[in-house]
Structure 1
Amino acid sequence: MDLIEFNNSIVSNNGKAYMVGGAVRDSLMGTMPKDRDYCVTGLTQETFESLFPSAELQGKDFPVYRLEINGEICEVALARKERKKTRGHRGFEVIFTPDVTIEQDLFRRDFRINAMAFDLSTNEIIDPYNGQKDIEDRILRATSPAFREDPLRVYRAARLAAQLDFRIDLFTLTLMDELKDELTSLSIERVYGEMIKALMSNKPSRFFYELEHSGVLDVHFPEISTLMNFRQNPKYHPEGNVFVHTMQVLDSARYFCNTLPVKNELAVMMSALLHDVGKAVTFGTHPIKGTPTYHEHEHRGVPIAEDFLSRFNLKSIKAAVLFNVKNHMIMHDAFTTMKPIKAVNFMDGKFEPTDKDTYIRNTGLLQVMDIHDYMAVCLSDTAGRVSAPSSLPDILKVTRLVLSLLSYENNFTFESISLLVSDIIEDSEQASRITNDIIRVSKHAKIMETYAQYSKTVTYSKDIAEALNKYEGEKLGYIIHKDKQQQRVSHMKTVRGFYLNKMKEAEL
């Protein structure tokens, strides 16, 4: 059925049909609506079902249907009013009589930018609560105090702010705070759903910032909320406390998910969110300088991150996220200072005998995740250290540029990159540090990427039939591993040498 036929059927029975909600908002913002929802006034449930016998009833407490319109499965609801009766997400009395107006239906909707309708007969925008003005001002406002009747709207508000990069107005933040005690009534799956949508948006930090601004972040995200309390050494972290740094890393990770061939975006985003949670339990003070220290924070963060992932039932990405939390500092300095064999073991794992009959296997990076996923997390940790958030997008572009220059036989110099960074960051000392950090971490990333491509092709270099005849079980595995390890160490030296020479040339 096409949209004209749908509308004519309703109008001929003294009803009215409207496109509503996010589809109207997205159309006004110039983006293609993902889903089209419709609202019908003036009809009883019986009349609607007689007009559209193929409509599938979805709601138990009120009439919402799935119906194919213009080749798309759409949601069609009869206009309704709601009245809060009990605590929680579902504690409503619903009224859906034919005399409920479109304005009354829109009034129950969460935000003014969602409380608009498009009249299918007149092509007019019905905007009784000034949603268009809020779009123009890039602000999210509750349609009415009835917002507080549904605690899930707290997380919807923060998620929508992240997706649209809108700020939430003070009145709505206050309503969110008033719902704090009711948030525990929500299932963890509901919270998880909103969090995941926010992490996949272009501005994921908005989700956590707005929850913090409303005073409710600690309800379901205490590991993140507590990071507000921990200042950092301004020499290395001019951006501010650990929470601010984490938010900049989160937005950076979103950028690299969009620009690098990462395989598991959720693992990357969750790693960015949790990478520094160990700082909450490792805060110290340098005995001479008096600056904050966080020794071993990456290791101490692993059990904290594990508890977080378990609470949200994120079992499928746990191994990758915990590896990243534990090892996100490797790419900053240690990767080209550690011995080649240790670098190989970090990448491919280690298989060693403990005594005559037993062996131990330690998992390496390439057994846990795709190399680009790890690169995205570590590059984000580097980029997310700028004092002015407005400069972050440009710093991310410079980082991506350096990666591109390293990928090919392009000539570049530290000076050329430094000039780009200096145009973005006025503070010369900070610009110099950021330049060095970007180039160093990009170099490590390219070494890892190049090595990873080679590592997949390594095979046993000796007579495999002889090995099979001579060894068995884990002893055989160990012999094969040691042979491959020797080849990989040789290649690691070659790859390191190539990029180290390239760096020396760039310094000239």
Structure 2
Amino acid sequence: MPGAIYLPEVLYTIADRLETKGAAVLLVGGAVRDMVMGQDVKDYDIEVYGLTTLDELESVLSKFGSVSQVGKHFGIVKLRIGDVEYDFSFPRTERKTGRGHTGFEVEIDGMLDFKEAAHRRDFTINAIGYNIKTYEILDPFGGLNDIRYKILRHIDDSTFIEDPLRVYRAIQFAARFGFDVAENTAVLCKQMVASGVLEELPKERIYEEWKKLLLKAPKPSMGFGLMREWGITEHCFLELHALIDVPQDTKYHPEGDVWTHTMLSIDAMASILNKEEKVESRSCRVLSPDSTTDKHRNEKRALKLLFAELCHDFGKPMTTTVEEGCIKAIGHEKAGIEPTRSFMYRLTEEHDFIESILPLVEHHLKPSQFYKQGAKASAIRRLATKVNIEDLVLVAKADFLGRTTPEAKKGVYEAGEWLLGKAEELKVKNRPIEPILQGRDLIALGMQPSPRFGTILDEVYGLQLDGVISDREGALDHVKRHHCQ
């Protein structure tokens, strides 16, 4: 990375100001790694060397925007300029003093040299610095070489094992960047898993690394492969581990066991979502240069679909039977609901999010079944009351593509296209049809509110779903004839 690289102009101005006070300003961590790899940088972490007190740093930064004291214990000062936030920090050392991610003794020292400060970091690729003023790259542990040869390597045994989360970070980094994990790093990670230290991690921290794996890795299966190889699935996620060696009918699944199919399916879903994101990004630019998508909403939906794909066959280990060479897993879709719920609650307490995944697991066979059966409009309308059909089709499509059948290799999921077309016609692609009648309509007919209202409204809605009733007049007529005598 020769010469100057692009950074927000304000960082150069701040670096100039700090230089007058004898300080050197370095861009550090993931920002440098991503720039070297030609990726977009979203977060800028800056370390300031040569100052003795945080007050000096705050005095300079306060002239550019709002300064926050959050993280001051760790020598971190946040600077907000408009909608953009920058993290400025003093170099520091950390020493493990107890269990958990809070069991560290932090020592801030503005006079440390970069190599000593970078020694606390996890991997060589995250320990590269970039001097904003001189354009000099500081690479004390060979991170640039590891990037060149696509190797993920930890810096130091003794510091690496101080935070068990680094095992999960190794997994998501390797999968995101397509890096091989250095042999000594892999051995150390296996040892940490076997020792049980990962069990001290709060689920919230684990979940954050899972999200990065699922949302950022082109092929999340690489990360899950490492989890399996290092013993994490066996020790921590038995629902996932149980998929290994569960046989499948080779007519429909020539690719192998349920684990293999699930890994192909999760990669297919990641590919589908990546294509969707690119199309949406182009559409936003065409519509308006200032339009932005709701990133949180989009990520939440993507996570829902990815987790649904990961869990869609969790019911197969308990339902698979082999009789006279015939392999079946009858009812596996419904059997997968409880293991999915159990699995997800070990990652997060987001109840509504978990509940949104379950219908996708329960009904993931419906698109193919409905297509083969030529399902009627009433069945499709009723399905829409249980699950978002557009999302369901994506889960079913990834399930279909996660195989090595000739049909799957063509990449066209005819069943899904058929169901989406029907759902579009019926106006139930993303939501069920609205009930024609409400309680107030029954009151307008002179009926007194009672528990019967729910029964009557459900009856009318059922007839609406079946296509027997299609307008308000017909609904009111039905109620008058059957419930107003």
TM-score range, shorter chain: 0.7 to 0.9
Is the 1:111–1:142 contact (alpha carbons within 8 Å) kept by the matching residues of 2?
yes
Deviation at 1:384, TM superposition (A): 0.6
Q: What residue in structure 1 maps to residue 24 of structure 2?
A: 16
Inter-partner Cα distance in structure 2 for 1:142 and 1:381: 36
Q: Which amino acid aligns with 1:230?
A: V
1:127 and 1:284, CA in 2 relative to 1: closer, same or farther beyond 3 A? same
Inter-partner Cα distance in structure 2 for 1:485 and 1:71: 47
Inter-partner Cα distance in structure 2 for 1:139 and 1:368: 46
Instruction: Give 1:164-183 correspondences, 5 Å limit.
Output: 164-180=177-193, 181-183=196-198
Is the 2:363–2:392 contact (alpha carbons within 8 Å) kept by the matching residues of 1?
no
Matched, 1:217 2:230: no
Deviation at 1:304, TM superposition (A): 0.9
Inter-partner Cα distance in structure 2 for 1:486 and 1:69: 57
Q: What residue in structure 1 maps to residue 385 of structure 2?
A: 367
Q: What residue in structure 2 maps to residue 65 of structure 1?
A: 77
Deviation at 1:36, TM superposition (A): 0.6
Residue from 441, 445, 457 that aligns with 1:469: 445
Is the 1:139–1:169 contact (alpha carbons within 8 Å) kept by the matching residues of 2?
yes
Is the 1:382–1:441 contact (alpha carbons within 8 Å) kept by the matching residues of 2?
no
Inter-partner Cα distance in structure 2 for 1:442 and 1:489: 28
Matched, 1:447 2:452: no
Q: What residue in structure 2 maps to residue 495 of structure 1?
A: none
Q: What residue in structure 1 maps to residue 38 of structure 2?
A: 30
Per-residue deviation, residues 15-50 of structure 1 (Å, max 9, x unmatched): 211001111111112222001110112222244344
Per-residue deviation, residues 224-252 of structure 1 (Å, max 9, x unmatched): 12212323333322222212211221122
Per-residue deviation, residues 259-291 of structure 1 (Å, max 9, x unmatched): 458882222111111101111222321x222x5
Deviation at 1:78, TM superposition (A): 0.7
Q: What residue in structure 2 maps to residue 299 of structure 1?
A: 334
Q: Which amino acid aligns with 2:166?
A: R
Matched, 1:308 2:343: yes
Q: What residue in structure 1 maps to residue 308 of structure 2?
A: 271
Q: What residue in structure 2 maps to residue 45 of structure 1?
A: 53
1:326 and 1:122, CA in 2 relative to 1: closer, same or farther beyond 3 A? same
1:58 and 1:469, CA in 2 relative to 1: closer, same or farther beyond 3 A? closer
Per-residue deviation, residues 196-227 of structure 1 (Å, max 9, x unmatched): 22222233323322222222233442211221
Residue from 233, 241, 244 that aligns with 2:257: 241
1:24 and 1:469, CA in 2 relative to 1: closer, same or farther beyond 3 A? same
Q: Which amino acid aligns with 1:192?
A: Y
1:451 and 1:336, CA in 2 relative to 1: closer, same or farther beyond 3 A? farther
1:59 and 1:254, CA in 2 relative to 1: closer, same or farther beyond 3 A? same
Is the 1:139–1:168 contact (alpha carbons within 8 Å) kept by the matching residues of 2?
yes
Inter-partner Cα distance in structure 2 for 1:90 and 1:38: 23
Aligned residues: 425
Inter-partner Cα distance in structure 2 for 1:489 and 1:374: 27
Instruction: Give 1:101-500 correspondences, 5 Å limit.
Output: 101-145=113-157, 146-180=159-193, 181-201=196-216, 202-259=218-275, 264-285=301-322, 287-289=323-325, 291-311=326-346, 312-337=348-373, 340=376, 344-345=378-379, 347-349=380-382, 365-386=383-404, 430-432=405-407, 434-435=409-410, 438-453=413-428, 469=445, 473-487=453-467
Q: What residue in structure 2 maps to residue 6 of structure 1?
A: 14
The alignment-based identity, stated in percent, is 29
Q: Which amino acid aligns with 2:20?
A: S
1:44 and 1:247, CA in 2 relative to 1: closer, same or farther beyond 3 A? same
1:101 and 1:469, CA in 2 relative to 1: closer, same or farther beyond 3 A? same
Q: Which amino acid aligns with 2:381?
A: D
Per-residue deviation, residues 64-113 of structure 1 (Å, max 9, x unmatched): 11024798321111111223333332332323223311111222211111
Deviation at 1:465, TM superposition (A): 7.5
> Tell me, which stretches of 5 or more residues in structure 1 are unaligned?
350-364, 387-429, 491-508
User: What TM-score does the superposition give when structure 2 sets the normalisation length?
Assistant: 0.78
Per-residue deviation, residues 115-147 of structure 1 (Å, max 9, x unmatched): 101112210111122222222222322122221
Q: Which amino acid aligns with 1:63?
A: G
Deviation at 1:374, TM superposition (A): 0.8
Inter-partner Cα distance in structure 1 for 2:88 and 2:199: 31
Is the 1:274–1:325 contact (alpha carbons within 8 Å) kept by the matching residues of 2?
yes
Inter-partner Cα distance in structure 1 for 2:81 and 2:454: 61
1:489 and 1:320, CA in 2 relative to 1: closer, same or farther beyond 3 A? farther
Residue from 89, 98, 109 that aligns with 2:101: 89
Inter-partner Cα distance in structure 2 for 1:138 and 1:11: 35
Give the SS at the match of 1:331. Answer: helix
Per-residue deviation, residues 450-496 of structure 1 (Å, max 9, x unmatched): 434489678759xx989963877135314532442342799xxxxxx
1:344 and 1:234, CA in 2 relative to 1: closer, same or farther beyond 3 A? same
1:288 and 1:37, CA in 2 relative to 1: closer, same or farther beyond 3 A? same
Is the 1:332–1:437 contact (alpha carbons within 8 Å) kept by the matching residues of 2?
no
Inter-partner Cα distance in structure 2 for 1:332 and 1:231: 21
1:304 and 1:479, CA in 2 relative to 1: closer, same or farther beyond 3 A? closer
Is the 1:298–1:325 contact (alpha carbons within 8 Å) kept by the matching residues of 2?
yes
User: What TM-score does the superposition give when structure 1 sets the normalisation length?
Assistant: 0.75
Inter-partner Cα distance in structure 1 for 2:68 and 2:355: 41
Over the aligned positions, Cα root-mean-square deviation in angstroms equals: 3.2
Inter-partner Cα distance in structure 2 for 1:137 and 1:158: 17
Is the 1:366–1:452 contact (alpha carbons within 8 Å) kept by the matching residues of 2?
no
Is the 1:79–1:100 contact (alpha carbons within 8 Å) kept by the matching residues of 2?
yes
Give the SS at the match of 2:121. Answer: coil
Q: Which amino acid aligns with 2:100?
A: G
> Tell me, which stretches of 5 or more residues in structure 2 are unaligned?
1-8, 281-297, 471-485
Give the SS at the match of 1:316. Answer: helix
Is the 2:51–2:110 contact (alpha carbons within 8 Å) kept by the matching residues of 1?
yes
Q: What residue in structure 2 maps to residue 358 of structure 1?
A: none
